[in-house]
Structure 1
Amino acid sequence: MEWLLLVILGFVAAVIGSVMGLGGGIIIVPALLVLGSWTAILEGVTPQTAVGTSLLVMIFTGLSSTLAYMKQKVVDLQSGLIFFIGSGPGALFGVWLNNRIDVDAFMIAFGCFIVLVSFILMIRKYIKPIPLRPRGIRRTALELDGTTREYGYEPAVAVPIAFLVGMFSGLFGIGGGSLMVPAMIILFAFPPHMAVATSMFLVFLSALVSSVSHMALGNVDWLYALALIPGAWFGGQAGAWIGKKLKSDTLVLALRIVLIVIGLRLIYEGLMQ
């Protein structure tokens, strides 16, 4: 029963992660920690193991989603590679931090971060993007309704932001999209669908780097990963399809509620231990 639950968890996390460009780790990591206290088969799951296993699974979620979004022609590969200049080293730094944080501090920090993400998702539509500067990188994209949107960024600003995103990816095992999608939409005026798709490409690259580091440190439970990966692969494909067909407002609202509940629970557990 527990193994079937892991397959379903991988699928659901990947669907949500792919639709919103989050990667799915923001669901998998707290779920593994909670299941570890409820079921015997997952007993003894540490924050480091949860993060390392989540990042390995997100390689497959990110690759599956990216391939599906590339067929839709909504992935900005060049921007993704520029962002990875910052997120790659950031992911390695996050892995280094992860091995030096205790369980209680991890619970509290991760819970606060999840609540912060829910707040960012709540206000993202009410913040105007920063104006494009002449020397920055400028792009045009076709929206789903047929309108053309101009977006862009300065690498000197985007790369440090991507470094912070990568750091959170390596530290919390969340893929970084929780911050990168709002940053691309709010700061760089990316069309939402392109921000999500490009974020999944970045999730794939960052997870690839940071998961290798976690493997070297012994933070990956291969049995859990093998149960999560099949669901994550098909969930990534399904999420990309849903993202193309449906509006994400309802999913964003539901996700915000879930993030607040999970975040407060982790903060409470961290304070009570």
Structure 2
Amino acid sequence: MEWVLLVIIGAAAGTLGALVGLGGGIIIVPALLYFGTATDWLHDLAPRTAVGISTVIMIFTGLASTLSYLKRKIVDYKAGLIFFIGSGPGGILGAHVNKILDVESFYIYFGIFMILMAVVLLVKNRLRPMVFKEGKGKVLNTYIDEKKNQSIVYGYHPAAAVLISFIVGFTSGIFGIGGGSLIVPAMILLFFFPPHVAVATSMFLVFLTSVTNSITHVALGNVYWPYALVLIPSAWAGAKLGAYINSKIAGKSLETILKAAMVLIGLRLIYQGLTG
């Protein structure tokens, strides 16, 4: 039962993560914590170990998704590398901060974070980007939407991109969530990325950031390898599936389910943290 459950968790995390650009950690970390504490199906892991496992898995979900999106030519590699300048150091710092959090504090902070991310996902499709204006110092790019037969120009200031991605990397280092839940709305609302380009580029960024995060967590001894090695292949397959589904549907129904689950899990984590 233990290994079957891990395969299901990995597949679900990879599929949903690649579909909406989250990375999948938002599924893996609470799932490992819940089944480890509320059932006898998995070992009771320390939060830092669940985060360490998640960051390792995010390397493979990010890479699998990026390779799939590469075939569709919608990954903005230049933007991903610029954002990584901030997210890389941010992730390393976040991994070290994770080390000093006690269990109860981690549950409370992570629960609040999950609810906030559910709110972000809820409002992101209702918000509209600011009016795009070309300006001095902006990095510009053009996306050709073949389905709509139109060109979309988007751009960003590198300094702003690095600052925001540092915050994203710091958060992903603490919670092991990949960072896509924060960076996708920022790309769409602040930097005018087309949604599909934002999702694809965020998965490239998740891959890069997870590499540096994982090195740090491995060095700190935060990875339980028996679980990681079971989760990797199922998460990889799920990420390939999620990227394929992303090309066929908008994913609104799955996003709705994910948002509801995030709120419920977040409330449970907060309760668990408060009651000790």
TM-score normalised according to structure 2 size: 0.96
Amino acid of the structure 2 residue aligned with 1:141: Y
- Within-5 A mapping of 1:207-218: 207-218=210-221
Offset at 1:137? 1.1
Structure 2 residue 159 is the aligned partner of structure 1 residue 195: no
Amino acid of the structure 1 residue aligned with 2:135: P
Aligned to 1:171: 174
Distance 1:126 1:247 in 2: 14
Aligned to 1:53: 53
Distance 1:264 1:132 in 2: 40
CA distances 1:127-185 after superposition (whole Å, capped 9, x unpaired)? 23233341211111123433221111101111100000000111000000010001101
Q: Secondary structure at the match of 1:22?
A: coil
Amino acid of the structure 1 residue aligned with 2:100: R
Paired residues, what number? Answer: 273
Structure 2 residue 133 is the aligned partner of structure 1 residue 132: yes
Offset at 1:122? 1.2
Offset at 1:124? 1.2
Aligned to 1:104: 104
Q: Secondary structure at the match of 1:74?
A: coil
CA distances 1:78-103 after superposition (whole Å, capped 9, x unpaired)? 00000000000000010011001111
Q: Secondary structure at the match of 1:246?
A: coil
Distance 1:132 1:180 in 2: 21
Percent of aligned pairs sharing the same letter: 53
Distance 2:41 2:224 in 1: 12
Aligned to 2:68: 68
Offset at 1:2? 1.1
- Within-5 A mapping of 1:13-52: 13-40=13-40, 42-52=42-52
Aligned equivalent of 1:141, options 140, 143, 146:
143
TM-score normalised according to structure 1 size: 0.97
Bigger shift: residues 114-123 or 31-40: 31-40
Offset at 1:41? 5.4
Q: CA RMSD in A?
A: 1.1
Aligned to 1:206: 209
Gaps of 5+ in 1: none
Aligned to 1:160: 163
Equivalent residues of 1:129, 1:185 under 8 A apart: yes
Amino acid of the structure 2 residue aligned with 1:139: N
Distance 2:10 2:148 in 1: 32
Bigger shift: residues 40-49 or 88-97: 40-49
Aligned to 1:227: 230
Gaps of 5+ in 2: none
